[in-house]
Chain A
Amino acid sequence: MKHDAEFLRHLYRRMISIRLFEEKIGELFLGGELPGFVHLYVGEEAIAVGVCASLTDQDYITSTHRGHGHCIAKGAKIGPMMAEIFGKQTGYCKGKGGSMHIADFSVGMLGANGVVGGGYNLAVGAALAAKMRKSGQVAVCFFGDGASNRGTFHEGINMAAAWKLPVVFVNENNQWASTTPYRTTNNIEDIADRAKGYGIPGVVVDGNDIFAVLETAKAAIDRARAGEGPTLIEAKTYRIKGHFVGDPEMYRTKAEVQKHFDENDPLKNFAHKVIGAKLLKQADLDAIASETAREIEQAVGEARQAPYPDEAELFADLYVEGVK
């Protein structure tokens, strides 16, 4: 393995942050503390972290309704994310967005999106801007297997391919479109096969293996940066949690989920590899995990204490130039 210990710690910190953040959100939601509803990214951490490891703060990503992991992977801070999910004034969006609409423009995170398949064209546009400015920036669009059946998939990827835009489309095939299994609504095993129809590379990668994701994503991002156009990556994974927290999950058995988690947990995979290669020790990972857990507890404490948005905030930010 060619990665140095510092980089590996960084990867683990991001992955464990997502895992612990999501578990905490699930707990808070079931405890009745959070408004709205939440979709968790547990079990898919290797994809967001593996992809974003090759991006800078100047690069862009677009995300989905299951977006907390993408935020953390791109470098958003736990504190304002937590506050946003609580609907507080100190949140990233002053409490106006919530779980499905977190954005952090300071690190190029152009927003989660409540509309499945709503992100493709935003990423294509960001990539178009990068190409016009010749800035060398790259845009990455994360989307699920369910979103691969939106018409926007076709329109966005075709336009990006025709114009050789610096964008990478990262499909997180977690096997479930809400409550519907992937193969009941698709006639192909691999979404990546569709790349052929656009004349761009399509690559399948094990989404539970961060090192495989890293390598695949880096090649695609480098290719985009070099002006060679988009790539479609399909990262195979499995949605460990329900579609949303509180989903009764009548459509699958607990045993099926447990089997996937036992066999494919991306964090366990990571630990196994780095400890096996003697690059990090279990104690290193444990130290990162407890530090992260403390950070999340602190974020929860601060979010609980933070004020809700003032009523005067209701109309703020609707228009830049005032409208009565």
Chain B
Amino acid sequence: MREITFSEATLEAMAEEMERDARVFVMGEDIARQGGIFGQFKGLPQRFGTDRVLDTPISETAIVGAGVGAALAGMRPVVDMHFADFITVCMDEVVNQMAKIRYMFGGQCTVPVVLRAPDGIIRSAAAQHSQSLESWFLHVPGLKVVVPSNPADAKGLLKAAIRSDDPVLYFEHKALFPTKGPVPDGDHLVPIGKANIVRPGRDLTIVSYSMMLHRVLEAADKLAGQGIEAEVIDLRTISPIDFDAIYASIAKTHRLMIVHEAVKTGGVGAEIAARAAEENLDLLDAPIVRIGAPYVPIPFSPNLEKLVKITADDVALAAKKLCN
């Protein structure tokens, strides 16, 4: 299979969907002239014109609010947040408008907006440009949230998000943009809400997503050398979470660990651990383990930044303890 970067995969998804449906357009800061900070929009304005690839003012409430308004008027907008951290500036538009409009108007309309949000730690971007805020949005009924970990899923989930009649938040880890991987040719779609078993195993289940999936896979290799076979689940979507896949796995392994880059407190892992304990405690032979960032803003100094990053060794060590 051909190999392309994560960034190229998202670009293919955008181009194919814009080609397929004239209602699809994209707007955000620095996307037309610059092509996006990570090159993820390069070439789109040349191909589709600056009427469908729009450089906006630095006005997050207008970018997201106008995206919602355009969706209500029959378009299928993709809006770009520049950095996921900036969603904080337009929480009303995301939480009170985008998420609720269809429900509170009794299903009179759909809100097919995709909000793209580059997140995660990269090169000392510091406290306001490094966060992983995805767990906030599982708490908001009405949104769907996807978190691809590789180029194939990046393409397939973005295409599925654009075709979804529900609003979708698409968190793309900044450090993944240049990474390469195999992507199927043609109209490749990945269903929203379906996890992927990326490595089968019998001894414990490790659930992860986005960038951290790669640390988990490295850890799984190390563990295999020590006779521990981890089953690794890539969630791909965190709202809704594919609990069927998680439960099927722990029915086999009886041990559960969740790993994410976001702060551990109140994170996706907390929700999964609580639900698994409520609904399937009898499947588990050991306490559930969560690995996430410590409860602190992301510091600037590389020396400190590395202390909040989860490593494969952190995962392997915790897994070994869980299995003993």
User: Chain A: residues with CB nearer than 8 A to chain B?
Assistant: 60, 62, 91-97, 101, 103-105, 110-111, 113-115, 118, 120-130, 132-133, 137, 139, 151-152, 154-156, 158-159, 162-163, 316-321, 323-324
Contact = CB atoms under 8 A, between A and B. Distances in A.
Interface string B74-104: 1101000000000000001100110001111
A95 B92 CA distance: 23
Nearest to A141: B69
Contact of A103 (B57, B64, B71, B108): B108
Contacts of A128: 66, 69-70, 75
B108 A93 contact: yes
A200 B72 CA distance: 26
B64 A121 contact: yes
B107 A126 contact: no
B105 interface: yes
Given A121-B61, A320-B165, A97 B66 contact: no
A321 B112 CA distance: 11
Given A126-B69, A128-B66, A320 B102 contact: yes
B25 interface: yes
A105 B109 contact: yes
Contact of B67 (A60, A94, A125): A125
12 contacts: A93-B108, A94-B106, A111-B101, A118-B65, A120-B62, A126-B72, A132-B25, A154-B59, A158-B59, A316-B107, A323-B144, A323-B193
Given A110-B72, A126-B70, A128-B69, A93 B62 contact: no
Nearest to A165: B66
Contacts of A93: 104-106, 108
B92 A115 contact: yes
A139 to B, nearest CB: 8
A124 B92 contact: no
Contacts of A155: 57, 59-62, 65
B124 to A, nearest CB: 30
Contacts of A118: 65, 92, 96-97
Best-surrounded residue of A95, A126, A156 (most CB of chain B within 10 A) = A126
A132 B105 contact: no
Contact of A97 (B72, B92, B106, B141): B106
Given A105-B109, A132-B51, A319-B142, A125 B65 contact: yes
Contacts of A123: 69
Contacts of B97: 113, 115, 118, 122
B73 A159 contact: no
Best-surrounded residue of B62, B109, B141 (most CB of chain A within 10 A) = B62
Q: Please provide the 8 A-B residue pairs with the shortest distance between their CB atoms, ordered closest to farther.
A: A125-B69, A121-B65, A317-B107, A93-B106, A125-B66, A129-B73, A155-B59, A122-B69
B121 interface: no
A152 B69 contact: no
A158 to B, nearest CB: 6
Given A124-B62, A159-B56, A318-B142, A92 B108 contact: yes
Given A93-B105, A105-B108, A110 B92 contact: no
B141 A318 contact: yes
Contacts of A159: 56-57, 59, 62, 66
A315 to B, nearest CB: 9
Interface in B144-171: 144, 164-166
Interface in B30-62: 51-52, 54, 56-57, 59-62
Contacts of A114: 96
B299 interface: no
Contact of A120 (B65, B165, B240): B65
B166 A320 contact: yes
A128 B166 CA distance: 20
Best-surrounded residue of B60, B73, B104, B144 (most CB of chain A within 10 A) = B73
A110 B69 contact: yes
A101 B102 CA distance: 11
Given A318-B102, A319-B144, A320-B102, 4 more contacts: A122-B66, A122-B69, A124-B62, A125-B67
B169 to A, nearest CB: 14
Given A121-B61, A132-B75, A155-B57, A97 B104 contact: yes
A225 B109 CA distance: 25
A171 B25 CA distance: 30
Best-surrounded residue of A115, A125, A133, A323 (most CB of chain B within 10 A) = A125
A129 B68 CA distance: 11
Contacts of A125: 65-73, 77
A101 B96 contact: no
B65 A156 contact: yes
Contacts of A94: 106-107
Contact of B68 (A95, A96, A121, A152): A121
A133 B59 CA distance: 23
A96 B101 CA distance: 11
Contacts of A96: 103-106
B72 A122 contact: yes
B253 interface: no
A187 B262 CA distance: 44
A253 B14 CA distance: 59
Contacts of B64: 121
Nearest to A150: B61
